């Protein structure tokens, strides 16, 4: 089942011209022949000068609004610094990919939720099943909770495809692993976003191709 992503809404100030502000100022003037606001008049000239200054301030505000949103920003480095990016295993050189990562962290569903864990796994090309103890206690048979509340335990299970299995014999004491499963980068990203009180266990099941 594909993970649904949120639509990224963009709000920004509309573009304005000096003429827009000049007409707005003229519109505030009282009516009557004593207040000539036509082209070439003193009020027209005065408000043309005011409009240029207001436009400059407005454009600075508009730029601030633009850069304050991860959707419209062009300043990627400050956003990455603020969000602690790049994360291990998710380093990108292309600006569009960097922007997507900024949006993922700042706008997409995060936290220790099932959908978030699945979305992180999808970044690494993995499909996972997520089991929470309070929903699926039968999946935690044999788990040592070390005296902690089991309701805060989560199992993330994925399949590992391998082309074949080699058999080895060991004479004497052997404690080195012959094969590592999993992706430490993927695990690091998931663990980085999980609250301290939530314990995530990664489980891998071998599927022989």
Q: Tell me how far apart the alpha carbons of residues 143 and 201 are, in angstroms, rounded to a whole number.
A: 10
Give the start-to-end residue ranges of the domains of the chain. Answer: 18-67, 110-208
Q: Tell me how far apart the alpha carbons of residues 24 and 29 are, in angstroms, rounded to a whole number.
A: 9
Largest Cα separation within the chain, whole Å, is 109
SS3 10: coil
Q: Exposed (0-12), middle (13-18) or buried (19+): which is 74, by Cβ within 10 Å?
A: exposed
Eight-class DSSP state of 179: -
Report pLDDT digits (tens) over 1-57.
344 445 556 678 899 999 999 999 999 999 887 788 889 899 999 999 999 999 999
Query: Is the pTM here over 0.85, yes or no?
Result: no
């Amino acid at each position: 089942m594909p993970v649904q992503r949120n639509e990224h809404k963009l709000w920004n100030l509309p573009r304005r011209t000096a003429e827009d502000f000049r007409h707005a100022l003229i519109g505030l003037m009282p009516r009557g022949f004593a207040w000539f606001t036509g082209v070439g008049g003193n009020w027209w000239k005065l408000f043309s000068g005011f409009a240029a200054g207001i436009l400059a301030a407005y454009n600075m505000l508009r730029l601030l609004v633009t850069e304050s949103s991860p959707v419209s920003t062009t300043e990627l480095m400050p956003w990455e610094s603020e969000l602690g990016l790049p994360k291990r295993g998710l380093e990108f050189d292309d600006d569009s990919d960097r922007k997507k990562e900024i949006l993922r962290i700042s706008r997409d569903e995060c936290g220790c939720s099932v959908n978030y864990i699945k979305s992180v796994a999808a970044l690494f090309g993995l499909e996972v099943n997520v089991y929470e103890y309070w929903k699926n206690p039968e999946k935690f048979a044999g788990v040592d909770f070390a005296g902690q509340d089991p309701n805060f335990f989560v199992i993330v299970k994925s399949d590992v495809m391998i082309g074949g299995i080699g058999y080895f014999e060991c004479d004497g004491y052997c404690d080195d692993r012959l094969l590592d499963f999993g992706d430490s980068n993927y695990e690091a990203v998931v663990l980085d976003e999980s609250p301290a009180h939530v314990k995530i266990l990664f489980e891998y099941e071998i599927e022989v191709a």
